[in-house]
Amino acid sequence: MDLDYFKLIDRVVELNLDEKRITVEAQVPAAHTIFEGHFPGFPIMPGVLLTESMAQSSGWLLLGLLKFERMPFLAIVKEAKMRGFVSPGSLLTIEAKLEHEGSGFAVTKAKGRVGKELKCSAEITFGLAPFPDPSMRVHMDAMANKIGFPLQAITHD
């Protein structure tokens, strides 16, 4: 995780386009100024960042399903549940699954675990739009390479 740049996903572990699901890993930093304030003496990942992690995981799934032709933008978060504390240094594994693909929008369900323990879950809706700027598409390609997104998976039907 690079919290300063809001890049919360480190690795794509598995992308299954047939089953419309993705599994990613996110290494929570052992130290960061966020943990100095949240909270002194009891550092834990803020729920909004766990929610954003689930949204970014879902976003990578949707980019794969959309073959990087459109960009998913976060629109609605429902049933966001923080089920347990996530401490600095934890390895977060997030699974996201497509719940529904509508016309111009998509809905996913995501779950985050540390080990076998479920830590967070949410239902997330995205608006799907053309990339607003070509540089954004270039950036997403570079990010995809960095996190090991299996680009070959989307070049074959």
Strand partners, 97: 21, 109
Please give the order of strands across the beta sheet that includes 71-82.
Answer: 11-16, 21-27, 91-101, 105-114, 117-129, 71-82
Confirm or reject binding of residue 103 to other proteins (CB under 8 A): yes
* Contact indicator for 63, 72 with CB cutoff of 8 Å: yes
How many chain residues touch other proteins (CB under 8 A)?
11
Confirm or reject binding of residue 102 to other proteins (CB under 8 A): yes
Q: Closer CB to other proteins, residue 28 or residue 128?
A: 128
Confirm or reject binding of residue 125 to other proteins (CB under 8 A): yes
Residues 6+ apart with CB under 8 A from 148: 11, 12
Whether residue 156 lies in the annotated active site: no
**Candidate list 101, 147, 151, 153; residue touching other proteins; CB under 8 A:** 101
Stretch that binds other proteins, among 4-12, 26-34, 103-111, 143-151 (CB under 8 A): 103-111
Q: Which residue has the tokens 């998509």?
A: 106
Residues with active-site annotation: 38
